[in-house]
A and B are shown apart, each in its own frame.
Chain A
Amino acid sequence: MPTAHSYEAKTSLGNRPRFLRPAILLIFFMAHIAVAGPLLAGEDSKSNEPVSESELIQLLLSQISELNARVATLEAEKVPAPPPSAPPAAAGPAANSPTPQPAPVPMPAPAPPLPTAPTPKPTADPDPQDNGHMVMDIPGGPNLSIRGFLDFNLDVGTVANPLVYPVTAPPSAIHNGFQFGEFDIFLNSRLSTDLSFLSEIVFGSDATNTWSIDVERAQLTYKPSPYFQVSGGRMHTAIGYYNTAFHHGTWFETPTGRPFMYYFEDSGGVLPVHIVGVEAAGLIPATGKLNAHWIVEVGNGESALYLTNPADNPVENFLAETNHKAYNIAGYIRPSWVRGLQIGANIYSDERVPGGIPHVKTYIPGAYLIFINSTWEFLNEIVLLRDNSVGSTTSHDTPLGYTQLSRKFGKFRPYFRWQEVNIPAGDPLYGSIGRYEGPSPGLRMDFTGFAALKVQYNRVYTRQPLPMNGLDAQVSFTF
């Protein structure tokens, strides 16, 4: 076994540490190239003649000027074409250089990039903050940040990853399979200091295995002050907490999916989770450490025709069915003395015109209490969906709610959710959906900062005598 002493005897580099020797050899080699290279690159007739110090300096200066000209030429080739509106720009330093273009000089090795002065970005925002997003920067326009989300699932059981109402009607046999989730593209752009735009475009497959594209959100927001902002477009309705905190990127969510109560309308969901219209919101002045906020929304409301015509979309993106508009008023507090606590409430109202039956007036009051910090997550929401047929004195009340608790242990986060949707059979719009309630324990593991593996068991009680079960394994990530 060689000792350190015997190793040193074999080398001419003395007792320097072993890891320094290659570096020293490399330095000698580079120094040799640096000194001899220019000489060797000179004329052959001079290669065997003794060179004086002044000739050597002249030769080196000549080489430097040639290299400078070469760099200028290369930089000029890299300058992009100017935008049409811009004045004719210089093609680069070489274009204006009085020095004629030299013949290409063979480079013994690629030279390291030379430091150049930073070029200011010609954008609307002089100081775009692009951390954490891919940013597309086309000269002359605002920055566009892009982020994507995707999830894959392996399902075993009837209610493994229920996403569509009725969850289990007609009853299906126990099955298993792979499922491609939502391919979600999130776009965000700041047009000016006060004006911003965001959008969420989802590519997804439905029960017919057909791909479709949905613009789930597209909203322009003007925020001149913390006390007032106004947004217009297609947004998530400020009903409860979950609907505005979690959208279509399942990676954000601790469990594998949304609570039953917040299923999307085109999946048979009973709440109007999207609204096409305008929203005003802001901080309530003089609320101090209570941090109270207000929200008012006016929009087209939810379609009723799609209940009898599945070809219709439940969200009235383009054509409002009635002149009546849906209204939602919400508020919440975020006390600064308990960071992570948020308590809020809302009331939503709409009048809908289903085909063949009387108009239905809908009221949706809701309340929530949530607490989230980096370790704990405790979410509690309850909403009452009240449908009244015009001319009838009978109200049909549907309680919807869930509670969810999780705690982080390093990369692991075990969680538990209990959820309930109980729609009375007499409800004029959703009576056929029925009742779903039950526990959903699970485990989330963030195996990198941007990807998570979740395993969730669902047990669902319905109005049928036997409960249903399912197990879902999901990989969700952002990119």
Chain B
Amino acid sequence: MRKNLLPGVVLVLSGLAVWAMAAPADEPLQVIVNPSNSVTSVSFSDLQSIYHGEKSRWPNGKLILLLMAAPGSPERGEVLKKIYKMSETDYVKYFIQASFTGEVSAPPKDVGSAAQIKQMVVSNPGAIGYVKQSDADGTVKVVLTLP
């Protein structure tokens, strides 16, 4: 009788694993920039403008390189919800249209993992990205913690 339960248990555990992977990040996200960036903090309003492509340069004139977590990741879901207030489809359409009008020359760059985001922020003085609080370390500068 116990063996009859095995498929059900496997199914439930698989479901829980999928739910856990799809669930929003529990930790707050931290917005990170290159340590050499003179900016020490970014307001939420400015962050929205930056991530919408409306502000394309830092105060020192350096071009901003926008980094986005990979599609489907919890971190990306949080940013779409809190910063863009858009679905993934609306986000894609937004940047196609922004490119079409000439306002934005390119959409944010999708990056596969938190380690890669940090690596790109470290290697690009104009880059801005976001990682979970536990992934932020001394190699990058935190300019905002998303609520």
Contact = CB atoms under 8 A, between A and B. Distances in A.
Interface of A: 3-5, 8, 15, 17, 127-133, 145, 147, 186, 188, 190, 193, 196, 198, 219, 221, 223, 225-226, 231, 244-245, 247, 249, 252, 289, 291, 334, 336-337, 339, 373-374, 446, 449, 478
Top 10 A-B pairs, shortest CB-CB distance: A129-B106, A449-B89, A374-B86, A129-B109, A374-B90, A131-B107, A336-B45, A196-B105, A190-B105, A4-B4
B92 A449 contact: yes
B91 to A, nearest CB: 9
A239 to B, nearest CB: 15
A425 B102 CA distance: 38
Given A5-B3, A374-B86, A478-B96, A244 B109 contact: no
B127 to A, nearest CB: 9
B99 interface: yes
A374 B90 CA distance: 7
A249 B56 contact: no
Contact of A219 (B96, B102, B105): B102
A4 B107 contact: no
Contacts of A196: 102, 105
B82 interface: no
A237 to B, nearest CB: 13
Interface in B109-133: 109-110, 124
Given A132-B107, A226-B57, A336-B49, A186 B4 contact: no
Contact of B48 (A17, A127, A339): A339
Interface string B73-107: 00000000000011111101101110111100111
Contacts of A249: 100
B101 A132 contact: no
B57 A225 contact: yes
B7 interface: yes
29 contacts: A4-B3, A15-B3, A17-B6, A17-B10, A129-B107, A129-B109, A130-B106, A131-B95, A131-B107, A131-B108, A131-B109, A145-B99, A145-B106, A147-B96, A147-B100, A193-B63, A245-B101, A249-B100, A252-B100, A291-B49, A291-B54, A336-B45, A337-B45, A339-B48, A373-B85, A374-B85, A446-B89, A449-B89, A478-B96
Nearest to A245: B101
Given A221-B102, A231-B102, A291-B54, 17 more contacts: A17-B7, A129-B65, A130-B106, A131-B95, A131-B106, A131-B107, A131-B108, A145-B106, A147-B99, A188-B105, A196-B105, A245-B101, A247-B101, A252-B97, A336-B45, A373-B85, A446-B89
